[in-house]
Amino acid sequence: MGIVIGRLEEISLLRKIERSGDAELVAVYGRRRVGKTYLIRNGFSRPLDFEFSGSHHATLKQHLESFSMALGKTMGNIPLAVPSNWLQALICSKTILLH
């Protein structure tokens, strides 16, 4: 795990989420190039089971396609249908990742 400087409150929250015992969704947003991905990758005590990062100029359809491909890859290169919206994508991912 890398060293995260100046983010004690955020690290504390991530550790609390990790200890909760429930399936959790963590959405981090903010300006580009400020360390969001680094924080998430280094704020937990073990590697994530699944992560997805959006693209700056992608359309909703492109984001959903990328999300579906990333989730399918995580599950052993299983081809998945592209969800039509984010609610459907998150419900599908919860079902897949918890089983």
Domain ranges (residues) in the chain: 1-48, 56-99
Q: Is 28 helix (H, G, I), strand (E, B) or coil?
A: coil
Contact 36, 29 (CB under 8 A): yes
**Phi/psi of residue 89, nearest 5 degrees:** -60, -45
pLDDT > 90: percent of the chain:
56
pLDDT at 14: 94
Within a 10 A sphere around the Cβ of 67, how many other Cβ atoms?
22
* Length in residues, the chain: 99
pLDDT band at 1 (very low <50, low <70, confident <90, very high): low
CA distance 24 to 47: 14
pLDDT tens string 18-53: 999 887 888 888 888 899 999 999 999 888 888 898
User: Where would I find the beta strands (DSSP E) of the chain?
Assistant: none
CB-facing half-sphere around the CA of 93: CA atoms within 13 A: 24
Predicted confidence (pLDDT) at residue 98 exceeds the cutoff of 80: no
pLDDT at 38: 93
Q: Which of 35-39, 50-54, 72-76, 81-85 shows the highest mean pLDDT?
A: 81-85
Contacts 24+ apart (CB under 8 A), 69-73: 71/96, 71/97
pLDDT at 3: 83
